[in-house]
Amino acid sequence: MLLLTGSANRALALNVARHLNLPLAKVSIGQFSDGESCVEILENVRGQDVFIIQSTSTPPNHHLIELILIADAIRRAQARRVIAVIPYLSYARQDKCLYPTQTPIGAKVIADLLATCKFNRILTIDPHSEQLQGFFSFPFDSLYSTTLFLEDILKKNYSRLVIISPDIGGVRRARTFAQRLNAQLAIIDKQRFKPNEMQAMNIIGDVEGYDCIIVDDIIDTANTICSAASVLKENGAKKVIAYATHPVLSGQAIHTIQSSLLDELVVTDTIPLNTIAQSCSNIQILSVVPLLAKAIEDIYKES
């Protein structure tokens, strides 16, 4: 098997390769002067199972195009199988038409675009919603950071714990955590009238005197989690800790986190953190490397 990566998260790909005791295949990645991406695979891939590790993180369009170009080059060079390992799959939040406005179903558009690459399968982590699988007409495997997060929560020995879903869409995820930890569940009824902007928050459930753990798939502007932290503290929460798989952390997110009532944020390395985020004492990073490496090995061995 051959592992290679685009420019989205080279550190993650290198760590997966190290975990599997393999080198990362050589690829030249650059841009023409007008901004078009150009890629060249510098190794023979003929007859190999090739895993392309590339999150479509910021800038999402650029990283998506890089992935597609790499896939095309590999296909033309006659690899045996091409597997896209997309730890963070962007556009997944655009999974429905927002009537009465006229909007595309971005997630379906991206699924159709990826289908043109003729990947044998796609491997991702914590996709925004489970129905996303239905947008793809070829194997789409999802891994979950649940076990990674649960182990960390258990290590921290919280006494009175309540698991918080920051919106109605996340209830299933939060309920899994609550059941596995034998903890209470509370739900924040979040109303969003515009993307990335929150309007209202009500809590369904009891949080007074509890340590509250918010679980979410994505932390983007950090408005959801930080507003949740405020409303939880207003309602008597002792501590508020958030676990979010994909640290998109766009715009003023770090500033929002630093000036919030959030006690701690735990994320994974599906997306690299910038140096400011890395130096935040209340942001902890857990690694998905073992999870990805095991899945890649299983796919390779068809086990």
Q: Site for ligand R5P (CB under 6 A): which residue of 196, 278, 279, 284?
A: 196
Q: 140 burial class (0-12, 13-18, 19+ CB within 10 angstroms)?
A: buried
Separation of alpha carbons 150 and 61, rounded Å: 33
From the candidates 155, 190, 238, 301, give the one annotated as an active-site residue. Answer: 190
DSSP 13-46: HHHHHHHTT-PBPPEEEEE-TTS-EEEEE-S--T
294 catalytic? Reply is: no
Interacting span for ligand R5P (CB under 6 A) from 136-144, 148-156, 213-221, 233-241? 213-221
Q: Site for ligand R5P (CB under 6 A): which residue of 55, 56, 221, 260?
A: 221
Q: Binding of ligand R5P at residue 9 (CB under 6 A)?
A: no
Separation of alpha carbons 232 and 221, rounded Å: 19
Separation of alpha carbons 22 and 300, rounded Å: 13
Q: Site for ligand R5P (CB under 6 A): which residue of 25, 41, 218, 299?
A: 218
Closest distance between ligand R5P and the C-beta of residue 90, in Å?
11
Separation of alpha carbons 52 and 54, rounded Å: 6
6 or 170: CB nearest ligand R5P: 170
Q: Binding of ligand R5P at residue 54 (CB under 6 A)?
A: no
Closest distance between ligand R5P and the C-beta of residue 216, in Å?
5
Q: Binding of ligand R5P at residue 126 (CB under 6 A)?
A: no
Q: Site for ligand R5P (CB under 6 A): which residue of 110, 217, 266, 289?
A: 217
Scan residues 70-109 and list those touching ligand R5P (CB under 6 A). 93
- Cβ proximity of 46 and 79 under 8 Å: yes
Q: For residues 181-216, b (16+ Cβ closer than 10 Å) or e, as one string?
A: bebbbbbbebeeeeeeebeebebebebeebbbbbbb
Q: Binding of ligand R5P at residue 222 (CB under 6 A)?
A: yes
Kindly list the residues in this chain that would bind ligand R5P in the complex (CB under 6 A).
Answer: 93, 166-167, 169-170, 196, 216-224
Catalytic residue set: 190
